């Protein structure tokens, strides 16, 4: 089993050229499966069947492994068996058709409207970093961008006179999004500073050295803004969640929010209806004379 596993990992590294992060995750997942095989006397990948693998997944789930982690583990097992079948070393894939147990779906964290305003209305110094960071924060919240979309944004994707930004999202799909007046103002303050930095390409958001910002650099700047303005941890996706929940609270138009977020399936967007209900329930509790719930004065 060890030789087959080593050969597969070498294949991922040299031929598939997967990232170091993915390679490490698959390696750890497959080591878990191999350890369980050894524990139950399975000495060859060919001898692992669907029933045994299902039992392993159930055991790992009981031990606290999340549904998301189990789904990744099964993906790693499928990849291994596809490789072994192609190489003639195995005859079947025990993970075929096997799904990870569904876990409780976590609601995304979002800022309320007042906290979002507090974040964005803080004083902005008139320098390169401050103007750039303000433009990034405003654009995240104004248009609901993903981190990858903001980092990949080029000048030809901006039309500030029309109040539009064009981004390339998941599945290489392009969509146009509105840019609010505050975000336009922040971008107009930033772009002349960007031009003066002699950027190396068309990237909208760059470092002082003129290089396109990395996702990690943006995450760090957003986190710093959260600590400075709100005294809390903040990440780019929280601004996207805030955009979505605030849009849904105001419009009640789930389809429109789906389009703005670039979700292929509306079921992905429907999680924000839970956030919206939380907002409505909070308003109800505060406003309705007979809404006092058990434990309110405990």
Architecture of the domain whose range is 1-87 = Orthogonal Bundle (1.10)
Residue pair 139/145 in contact by the 8 Å Cβ criterion: yes
Task: For residue 108, give the DSSP letter.
Answer: P
Architecture of the domain whose range is 113-287 = Orthogonal Bundle (1.10)
In the prediction, which pLDDT does 295 show?
A: 44
Alpha-carbon torsion angle 289, 291, 297, 298, nearest 10: 170
In the prediction, which pLDDT does 61 show?
A: 84
Alpha-carbon distance of 189 to 181, in angstroms, equals 12
Distance of alpha carbon 68 from the chain centroid: 13
Per-residue pLDDT of the chain (298 residues; tens, 9 = 90+): 888 888 989 988 888 887 888 889 889 999 998 998 988 899 889 888 888 888 888 888 888 888 888 888 888 899 999 999 998 988 888 888 877 777 555 656 788 888 999 999 877 788 999 999 999 999 999 888 989 999 999 999 999 998 888 988 877 788 888 888 999 999 999 999 999 998 989 999 999 999 999 999 999 999 999 999 999 989 998 998 888 887 777 676 677 777 777 776 666 666 666 555 555 555 556 665 655 544 444 4
Active site positions, annotated: 146, 170, 237, 240, 263, 272
Alpha-carbon distance of 114 to 249, in angstroms, equals 14
| Residues 6+ positions from 157 with CB-CB distance below 8 Å | 165, 166, 167, 204
Helix residue ranges, H only, the chain: 2-11, 20-39, 50-62, 67-86, 113-120, 128-143, 147-151, 181-196, 215-230, 236-251, 254-261, 266-269, 271-287
- DSSP string covering 41-105: T--SGGG--HHHHHHHHHHHHHTT--HHHHHHHHHHHHHHHHHHHHTTS-S--TTTT--PPPPPP
Residue 165 bridge partners (DSSP): 158, 177
Task: For residue 27, give the DSSP letter.
Answer: H
Which residue shows structure tokens 């409780």?
A: 104
Which tokens hold the place of 163? 């109040």
Alpha-carbon distance of 237 to 252, in angstroms, equals 21
Q: Among 263, 260, 264, which residue's Cα sits nearest to residue 243? A: 260
| Residues 6+ positions from 59 with CB-CB distance below 8 Å | 36
Which residue shows structure tokens 């031990």?
A: 63
Helix or strand (DSSP H, E) at 166: strand 164-168
Other CB atoms within 10 A of residue 39 CB: 10
Domain ranges for the chain: 1-87, 113-287
């Amino acid at each position: 089993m060890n030789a087959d596993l080593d050969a597969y990992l070498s294949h991922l590294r040299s031929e598939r050229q997967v990232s170091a992060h993915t390679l490490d995750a698959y390696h750890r997942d497959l080591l878990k499966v191999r350890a369980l095989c050894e524990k139950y006397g399975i000495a060859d990948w060919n001898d692992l069947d669907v029933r045994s693998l299902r039992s392993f997944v159930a055991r790992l789930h009981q031990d606290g492994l999340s549904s998301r982690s189990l789904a990744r583990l099964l993906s790693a097992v499928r990849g291994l068996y596809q490789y072994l079948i192609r190489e003639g070393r195995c005859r079947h894939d025990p993970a075929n058709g096997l799904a990870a147990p569904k876990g409780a779906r976590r609601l995304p964290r979002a800022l309320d409207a007042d906290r979002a305003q507090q974040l964005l209305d803080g004083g902005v110094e008139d320098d390169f970093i401050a103007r750039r960071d303000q433009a990034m924060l405003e654009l995240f919240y104004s248009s609901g961008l993903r981190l990858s979309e903001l980092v990949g944004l080029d000048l030809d994707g901006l039309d500030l006179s029309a109040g539009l930004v064009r981004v390339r999202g998941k599945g290489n799909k392009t969509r146009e999004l509105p840019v609010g007046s505050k975000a336009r103002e922040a971008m107009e303050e930033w772009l002349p500073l960007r031009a003066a930095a002699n950027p190396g390409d068309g990237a909208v958001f760059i470092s002082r050295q003129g290089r396109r910002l990395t996702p990690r650099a943006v995450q760090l700047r957003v986190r710093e803004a959260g600590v400075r303005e709100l005294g809390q941890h903040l990440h780019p996706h929280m601004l996207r969640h805030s955009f979505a929940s605030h849009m849904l609270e105001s419009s009640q138009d789930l389809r429109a929010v789906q389009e703005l977020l670039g979700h292929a399936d509306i079921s992905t967007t429907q999680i924000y209806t839970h956030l919206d209900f939380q907002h409505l329930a909070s308003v109800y509790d505060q406003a309705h004379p007979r809404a006092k719930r058990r434990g309110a004065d405990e």
